């Protein structure tokens, strides 16, 4: 049975038939507001990613869902049931801990089997499923080892295996792949997507890796200081950020500061073209232009000009850093293939006004 996620790309995160509904959840630790009126909905069988800087409350949100943190206020529903009323061991939710929390006195296979044993599954089935998941995470040879005899990346895969082997309705993964090398990580990413599509598990995944979130998630919530900044599909998040924080946090951006004006941003006596994506913008504002949306042009079409600081060639793409008078940071311009400018050359940049986002805010 393969159902595709029914998540619309809304900025609000409200769905017709959500699996999880988080409504106005707040959690304070003394002076620290870890979660501030967080509301979001997660669709059945969705791959939902949480992105945000360190300390913004991602782990706390997962712990609320798993039942280890009782929110100060707000509601959490799973389907029609009030999740906050049921104890952690009764929730159809599995959490992979950021610090793994493997049982040090149990072997790898006993760690993985533990959750299945608690369900009272037959021994043969447990054996089979543990062996299967060990193959999946590539640790078949290490079944008898203890966690203290494993590397960090191996521990992480055991933790992942222990969480996915139960095939819960809702799987919460706290930075599940952060300790893995590129190749294994790519394999695990495919595996998680397979679980989503073939087993129909709903995922909530915390990650620091934007590319990972962008490539895997159906929708992403960007958080900062305990608040949800934006919930959107990856492309929307990238192209239509609702505020400067999101624009700056996601991907690389060139930022101009000035005052909102007709058709763009007034900087000094010029107007740099751009458009507002979330309603009209007035007063102090910023213009965000992605490096790949810029082009090198003739002087006659120039929007900004500057001197090339350096060029970098990454194989598939190349980046040119350009020092522009009046900007504290060099502008970045990327294009497929080899760089078309060289050091110290004077170059002119332009962009499609539709692709430059005008955002409200002071500098």
Partner 1 sequence: MTAGPIAPGRGAARRRALVERTALLGPGLLYLLAFMAIPIALILVYTIFTRGRFGGVVFTPTLDNFTRALDPIYTAVLGSSLAIAGITTTIALLLGYPTAYAIAMLPKRWRTVALILVVLPFWTNFLIRTYAWIVLLNSEGVVNQALVGAGLIDRPLELLYTRGAVVAGLVYAYLPLMILPVYASIERLDPQLREAAANLGAGRARTFFDVTLPLTLPGVITGALFVFVPSLGNFIVPELLGGGKTVMVGNVIRDQFLKARDWPFGAVLALAVIVFLVVLFVLQSWASRRVSTGGRDA
Ligand X SMILES: Nc1ncnc2c1ncn2[C@@H]1O[C@H](COP(=O)(O)OP(=O)(O)OP(=O)(O)O)[C@@H](O)[C@H]1O
Least Å distance, CB 57 to ligand X, is 4
Q: Rounded distance, CA 184 to CA 180, Å? A: 6
Least Å distance, CB 246 to ligand X, is 16
Look up residue 100 and give its two tokens. 């793994």
Burial class (CB in 10 A: 0-12, 13-18, 19+), 198: exposed
Q: Rounded distance, CA 181 to CA 138, Å? A: 13
Q: 355 - beta bridge partners? A: none
Least Å distance, CB 282 to partner 1, is 49
User: In terms of CB distance, is 127 or 227 closer to partner 1?
Assistant: 127
- The DSSP secondary structure of 232-251, one letter per residue, reads E-HHHHHHS-SSHHHHHHSS
Q: Rounded distance, CA 255 to CA 272, Å? A: 11
Strand ranges inside 153-267, DSSP E: 170-174, 202-206, 219-224, 227-232, 254-261, 264-267
Least Å distance, CB 96 to Mg ion, is 12
Residues recorded for the chain: 363
User: In terms of CB distance, is 93 or 320 closer to partner 1?
Assistant: 93
- What residue ranges bind partner 1 (CB under 8 A)? 66-68, 87-89, 93-95, 97, 99, 101-107, 114-115, 118-119, 144-149, 162, 166
Least Å distance, CB 114 to partner 1, is 5
- The DSSP secondary structure of 257-288, one letter per residue, reads EEEEETTEEEETTEEEE-EESSS---SEEEEE
User: In terms of CB distance, is 166 or 286 closer to partner 1?
Assistant: 166
Lay out the site mask for ligand X across 71-110 (x = CB under 6 A, - = otherwise): ---------------------------x------------
Do 76 and 23 contact (CB within 8 A), yes or no?
yes
Q: Which long-range contacts (CB under 8 A, 24 or more apart) does 310-319 make?
A: 310/343, 311/339, 311/341, 311/342, 311/343, 312/339, 313/338, 313/339, 317/292, 319/291
Least Å distance, CB 59 to Mg ion, is 3
Q: Which does 29 bind (CB under 5 to 8 A by kind): Mg ion, ligand X, partner 1, none?
A: ligand X
Q: Applying CB under 6 A, does 29 fall inside the site for ligand X? A: yes
User: In terms of CB distance, is 145 or 227 closer to partner 1?
Assistant: 145
Do 158 and 147 contact (CB within 8 A), yes or no?
yes
SS3 (DSSP) at 312 = strand
Look up residue 342 and give its two tokens. 């060289």
Who's near 10: CB < 8 A, 6+ residues apart?
Answer: 231, 232
Do 222 and 229 contact (CB within 8 A), yes or no?
yes
Q: Which does 252 bind (CB under 5 to 8 A by kind): partner 1, Mg ion, ligand X, none?
A: none
Which one of 17-25, 29-37, 230-238, 253-261 is the stretch in contact with ligand X (CB under 6 A)?
29-37
Q: Which does 114 bind (CB under 5 to 8 A by kind): Mg ion, ligand X, partner 1, none?
A: partner 1
SS3 (DSSP) at 37 = strand
Least Å distance, CB 20 to partner 1, is 16
User: In terms of CB distance, is 98 or 294 closer to ligand X?
Assistant: 98
Q: Which does 104 bind (CB under 5 to 8 A by kind): ligand X, partner 1, Mg ion, none?
A: partner 1
Give 55's DSSP letter. T
Least Å distance, CB 119 to partner 1, is 6
User: In terms of CB distance, is 180 or 320 closer to ligand X?
Assistant: 180
* Residue list 44-63, contact with ligand X (CB under 6 A): 52, 54-60
User: In terms of CB distance, is 45 or 98 closer to partner 1?
Assistant: 98
User: In terms of CB distance, is 106 or 276 closer to partner 1?
Assistant: 106
Q: Rounded distance, CA 201 to CA 46, Å? A: 8
Q: Which does 87 bind (CB under 5 to 8 A by kind): Mg ion, ligand X, partner 1, none?
A: partner 1
User: In terms of CB distance, is 2 or 148 closer to partner 1?
Assistant: 148
Binding site for ligand X (CB under 6 A): 29, 32, 34, 52, 54-60, 98
């Amino acid at each position: 049975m393969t159902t595709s996620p029914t998540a619309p790309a809304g900025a609000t995160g409200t769905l017709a038939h959500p699996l999880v509904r988080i409504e106005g959840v707040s959690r304070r630790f003394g002076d620290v507001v870890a979660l501030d009126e967080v509301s979001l909905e997660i669709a059945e069988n969705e791959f939902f990613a949480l992105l945000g800087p360190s300390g913004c409350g991602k782990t706390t949100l997962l712990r609320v869902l798993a039942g280890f943190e009782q929110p100060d206020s707000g509601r959490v529903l799973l389907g029609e049931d009030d999740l906050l009323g049921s104890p952690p061991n009764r929730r159809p939710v599995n959490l992979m801990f950021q610090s793994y929390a493997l049982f040090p006195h149990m072997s790898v296979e006993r760690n993985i089997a533990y959750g299945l044993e608690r369900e009272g599954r037959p021994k043969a089935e447990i054996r089979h499923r543990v062996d299967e998941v060990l193959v999946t995470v590539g640790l078949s040879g290490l079944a008898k080892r203890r966690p203290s005899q494993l590397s960090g990346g191996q521990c992480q895969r055991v933790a992942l295996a222990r969480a996915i082997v139960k095939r819960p309705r809702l799987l919460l993964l706290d930075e599940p792949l952060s300790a893995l090398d590129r190749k294994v990580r790519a394999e695990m990413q495919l595996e998680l997507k397979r679980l989503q599509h073939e087993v129909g598990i709903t995922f909530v995944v915390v990650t620091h890796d934007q590319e990972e979130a962008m490539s895997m998630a159906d929708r992403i919530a960007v958080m900062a200081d305990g608040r949800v900044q934006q919930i959107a599909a990856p492309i929307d998040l990238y192209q239509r950020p609702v505020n400067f924080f999101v624009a700056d946090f996601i991907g690389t951006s060139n930022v101009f500061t000035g005052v909102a004006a007709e058709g763009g941003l007034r900087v000094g006596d010029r107007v740099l073209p751009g458009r507002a994506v979330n309603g009209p913008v007035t007063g102090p504002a910023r213009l965000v232009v992605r490096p790949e949306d810029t082009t090198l042009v003739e002087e006659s079409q120039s929007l900004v000009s500057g001197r090339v600081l350096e060029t970098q060639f990454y194989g598939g793409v190349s980046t040119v850093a350009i020092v522009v008078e009046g900007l504290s940071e060099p502008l970045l311009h990327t294009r497929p293939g080899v760089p078309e400018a060289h050091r110290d050359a004077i170059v002119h940049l332009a962009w499609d006004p539709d692709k430059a986002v005008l955002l409200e805010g002071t500098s």
